[in-house]
Amino acid sequence: MTQMHPVSRVARIAALALLLLAWATVAPAAEPRYEGFKKCASCHKSQSQSWRKTGHAKALALLEPGARSEAKRRAKLDPGKDYSKDKDCLGCHVTGLGKDGGYDPADPGIYLVGVSCESCHGPGGRYQGLHREAAERFDKNKLTTPRQALADAGQDFGFVERCNACHLNYRGSPWKGARAPYNPFAPELDAKYRFEFDKAVRDVKAMHEHFRLEGAFTGPPLPPFHDELQAKARPIGKDDR
Ligand code: HEC
Ligand code: HEC
Ligand code: HEC
Ligand code: HEC
């Protein structure tokens, strides 16, 4: 019988540990739960009131019969048809379709209707509690929290890929993530459907208005347009939180 040399045994254990580590980093972590916009709105009244006026908030209504009939006809859709339960459409007109806590056509929650907060900021299941804790620390003794903690909990500060998943997900799109069900309103149909992120994210009619942050969170990650938007931002309403 060959006795294993103690060094090679250590090496084998180390190799196994490395393998486990590699597996743990590759294995997809479960996506946090969607909470619905009522939770976010309870603390962020100013952004919510502004968001409610945007096309994103009203996106589900576009799937109803008679809505935007001319556009539907041009896209070879039936303007008289009710698409509001159609899985080929819903994914980009509600929040978190088929995801944990997300919109379920069999039991549609009213706080997941339309393209809402979590469609852009990411599912809030793990990060929204951190907002509450950070706010308490900040309000009491001006202690700040690293923004990285939010990113680690699933809050999205990049935005681009989330917008792309709806706006660039059409047949023949240059975006490499494109897959069915596709957005029927592609630039091929009309140049106005062309999506340029840098322009779109600054579109004051499509996006909610921006309000000045008090600074409870600090440091990276931040999108490159953050300072520009904050420079033009108004203070939040008095009764916001
Ligand atoms: C879940 C899908 C979804 C996501 C995510 C999404 N949008 Fe939209 N967006 C829509 C839909 C649907 C409309 C159409 C609203 C209408 O016509 O009333 C729209 C409309 C718009 C418009 C106005 C129409 C146009 O194309 O010029 C802009 C600008 C826009 N979105 C920008 C963005 C940006 C920037 C992001 C990411 C930060 C984003 N959207 C994320 C679905 C989405
Ligand atoms: C992959 C995402 C996606 C899917 C799937 C999708 N849409 Fe949309 N839809 C969008 C986006 C993004 C816009 C905004 C287009 C723009 O203005 O640039 C939009 C806009 C619209 C509009 C407004 C178009 C206009 O010019 O006013 C209607 C109506 C609409 N969608 C209906 C539907 C229907 C019906 C289906 C299913 C057959 C569907 N959508 C499937 C993403 C999607
Ligand atoms: C279509 C995408 C989109 C939707 C929907 C959306 N946001 Fe935002 N939000 C953004 C972007 C982009 C920023 C700018 C981020 C930055 O400057 O760092 C932002 C910034 C914010 C900020 C930081 C302060 C500010 O005003 O810039 C808060 C708070 C916020 N959003 C809350 C919400 C809430 C609450 C909702 C839902 C009621 C919501 N957002 C819906 C894209 C979106
Ligand atoms: C208990 C209250 C509360 C809830 C619930 C809450 N937030 Fe916040 N959020 C805050 C506070 C407080 C801040 C720090 C604001 C500041 O620094 O001015 C913040 C910061 C933010 C920011 C800016 C982060 C940064 O870059 O500094 C965004 C974006 C945001 N919240 C979105 C959301 C979304 C989306 C939801 C729902 C999923 C949500 N919040 C739920 C209280 C809350």
Q: 164 pLDDT band (50/70/90 cuts)?
A: very high
- Where b means 16+ CB within 10 Å and e means fewer, 65-103 reads eeebeebbeebebeeeeebbeeeebbbbbbbbbebebbb
Average per-residue pLDDT for the chain = 92
- Our answer on whether the CB atom of 147 is closer than 6 Å to any ligand 1 atom is no
E strand or H helix at 20, and its extent? helix 6-26
The pTM for the full model equals 0.93
* The two three-digit tokens of residue 126, written as one number: 């793990």
Q: Three-class SS of residue 184?
A: coil
E strand or H helix at 217, and its extent? strand 217-218
Q: Looking at the CA of 36, name the nearest ligand.
A: 4
From the list 114, 111, 121, the residue with the least C-alpha distance to 94 is: 114
Which pLDDT value is given to residue 240? Answer: 75
16 vs 227 pLDDT, higher one: 227
Q: How many helices (H) and strands (E) does the chain have?
A: 11, 2
Minimum CA distance residue for ligand 2 atom 16: 193
Q: For 91-109, what is the mean pLDDT?
A: 96
Which pLDDT value is given to residue 82? Answer: 98
Q: Which residues line ligand 2 (CB under 6 A)?
A: 62-63, 67-68, 71-72, 77, 83, 86, 88-89, 91-93, 166-167, 169, 181-185, 193
